[in-house]
Amino acid sequence: SGFPRFNSSRGGQISKRSDHRVFVTNLPSNGSWQDLKDHMRQAGDVGFADVFKDSTGVCEFLKLEDMKYAIKNLDNSKFVSHEGDSSYIRVRQDKGPGNGSSR
A 10 A CB-CB count for 52 gives: 11
Q: Which residues is 22 bridged to in the sheet?
A: 59, 93
Identity of the amino acid at 44: G
Q: Which pairs with CB-CB distance under 8 Å and at least 24 residues apart come from 73-77?
A: 73/42, 73/43, 74/39, 74/40, 74/42, 74/43, 77/39
Per-residue pLDDT at 96: 63
Q: At a CB cut-off of 8 Å and minimum separation 6, what does 27 contact?
A: 36, 51, 55, 56, 57, 79, 81, 87, 89
Per-residue pLDDT at 16: 79
Q: pLDDT in tens for each of the 103 residues of the chain?
A: 454 444 443 444 457 788 999 999 999 999 999 999 999 999 999 999 999 999 999 999 999 999 999 999 999 999 999 999 999 999 999 986 554 444 3
